[in-house]
Structure 1
Amino acid sequence: MKPIIVLLLLLALAPVLFAQRKSVAQIKAELEKATNGPLYVKEVLKKRFVIDTILVRSPQSFFGLPDSLAYHGKVGKVYGPYHNGKTLVQILAKANATFNHPGQIFLDTSVFSKRFADSLSDNIIQRVRSGAASFETMAQTYSMGGEAITKGDLGWVAVGYMMPQIEQELARRKKGDLFKVWTANGVHIIRKLDDPKQDIGSALMLRIFL
C-alpha cells in the first residue's frame, strides 16, 4: 500500500483512535465542557447514546437510580460509570411539576362491604374532626394500604400519579380539609396536609454506552 494512502487512512481513523484512547475521567470532563453533549458523543466519541425523559414521582422516595439522579443530579454534570463501567449519564435539562401532599386512610371494599366501609369511614372522619382520635392513629389502626406504616402520610406525590378522583378533590380543597373519595378499590379518607408546591418533576438524561 502506498505511503500516501496509509497516511490518509490514519487521518480518517484518527478521531476514532483518539476517542478510544480517552479515559472515562477525560470523557466525563470533556462532556461536561461541551456545549452540545449529544453532538460531542456522536461526532467525537463515536459512541451510541439515547436520550430519556425521566419522571420523578416523589422527591422523598425514589424507585431507583434514574429518578434519584433526575431529582438530585446537576444539569450538565456527568455521572457514572454504571452497569459494570459501560454507561455514563449526563443531565441535560430539568423541568418542574406540581406535587400534592395528602394523607390517606384506605378501606378496601374487596375486604369490607361497601355499606360497612361507608359507615366506618364516616365514623373515622367524625372522630378525627371532633378530636376524639388523631388522623395518624386512625391510619395506623384502619388503613389497609402501605401508608399505615407512615401514619397515613403519603408524602409529596406528583400530579398524575394518584387516582384522578382523588386529585380532582385535592384541587378543590384547602389545606387541612378531611374528606372521603370513592374509587373502584374502596373508600379513601383523605386529608390535605399541605398546599400544592412546584418541585423538580422530570429530567432529560443522556445515556452514553462506552
Structure 2
Amino acid sequence: MKKLLILLSCIVATQVSGQRLTINQMKSKLEQAANPIAYVRDSLKKKYSLDTVVIRNANYFLGLADSLAYKGKPGKVYGPFEGKYLVQVMAKAPNEFYRISQVFLDTAVLAPRVADSLANSIIDRIRSGSATMADMAMTYSMGGEGKTKGDLGWMARGSIQPDIEKKILKCSKGEVFKTWSRTGLHIIQLTGMPKQDNGFALLMRVFL
C-alpha cells in the first residue's frame, strides 16, 4: 500500500510539473534535449510532425515553413504560432542558388511572332547598354517580376524551369538569353554567380 501511494504521488507530481511548464520553459527544454523527438513523445507527451522543407528562393518565401527553414537556427524553437504549435529546426542541408532576373512576354496576349521580335529588341538594348534589365522589366514584363524590376531573387537549383536552368548552368554573370515555355517567352539574365546556401531543412512541429 505504501509503495502504491508513493507511485501515485510520483505520477501526480509529474503531471503537476508538466502542467506548470510555461511555453518558454518548454522551448528551453526542447532546445536543451539531446533527443528532442523523444522528449516531446515521452516527457511532454505532445503530438508532433516532421516535415522536410525545400527552400526554393532565398529572397522570397511562400510562407512560415520555408521562411523558418531558411532563416531559423538548427536546434532553435520558434513560436507559438496561432497559439497552437511550436516549430523546432532540427537540421539543415545546403543547395546551390542562382540570382536571376526576368522579362516575361505572355503569348496569350502577344502573338508568338510579335513576342519574339520584341524579345530580340529587348535583348539587343540590354547587351548594347542602352537599357537595363530593370528598365525592360518595368516597361514590358507581363509577370509579377515587373514589381521587383525583374529580380526573381536567389533561386535554388532544381526549382528553376528545366530549360532555363540548363542554359543558366552555361552562363556567365550578366549574360542574357531567351527561352520559350507553354505560357510565353522568358528573357533571362544571370545577375549573380552560383553560391551555396541553406537549401533544405527538417522541421518538427509540436502541437500544444
- TM above 0.5, one fold? yes
Q: 2:138 aligns to what? A: 140
Kindly indicate whether residue 173 of structure 2 is the aligned counterpart of residue 183 of structure 1. no
Structure 2 partner of 1:56: 55
Could you tell me which runs of 5 or more consecutive residues in structure 1 were left unpaired when the two chains were aligned.
none
Instruction: Please give the per-residue CA displacement for 1:48-83, whole angstroms capped at 9, x wherever unaligned.
Output: 111111222222222222222111111111111122
Structure 2: runs of 5+ lacking an equivalent: none
Q: CA offsets, 1:89-113, max 9 Å, x none?
A: 1111111111111111111111111
Q: 1:195 aligns with which of 193, 196, 206?
A: 193
In 2, the alpha carbon distance for the partners of 1:6 and 1:62 equals: 55
| Residue number in structure 1 paired with 2:107 | 109
Q: Which runs of 4+ in 1 moved over 6 A?
A: none
Q: Does 1:65 align with 2:90?
A: no
**1:157 counterpart residue number:** 155
For residue 131 of structure 1, report the CA deviation from its aligned partner.
2.3
Aligned length: 208
Aligned match of 1:118: 116
Tell me the TM-score normalised to structure 2 length.
Answer: 0.92
Aligned-pair CA distance for 1:151: 1.6
The CA deviation at 1:122 is 1.0
Shift of 1:143: 0.9
The alignment's C-alpha RMSD in Å is 1.7
Read off the aligned partner of 1:117 and give its amino acid letter.
A
| Contact 1:139 1:147 (C-alpha < 8 Å) held by counterparts | yes
- The 8 Å contact of residues 59 and 156 in structure 1, kept in 2 or not, is answered as yes
Contact 1:19/1:46 (8 A) holds in 2 = no
Q: What is the CA distance between 1:8 and its match in structure 2?
A: 3.6
Q: Distance in 1 between matches of 2:3 and 2:93?
A: 53
Q: State how far apart, in whole Å, the 2-side matches of 1:78 and 1:72 are.
A: 12
Q: Answer whether contact 1:16 1:46 (CA < 8 A) is retained.
A: no
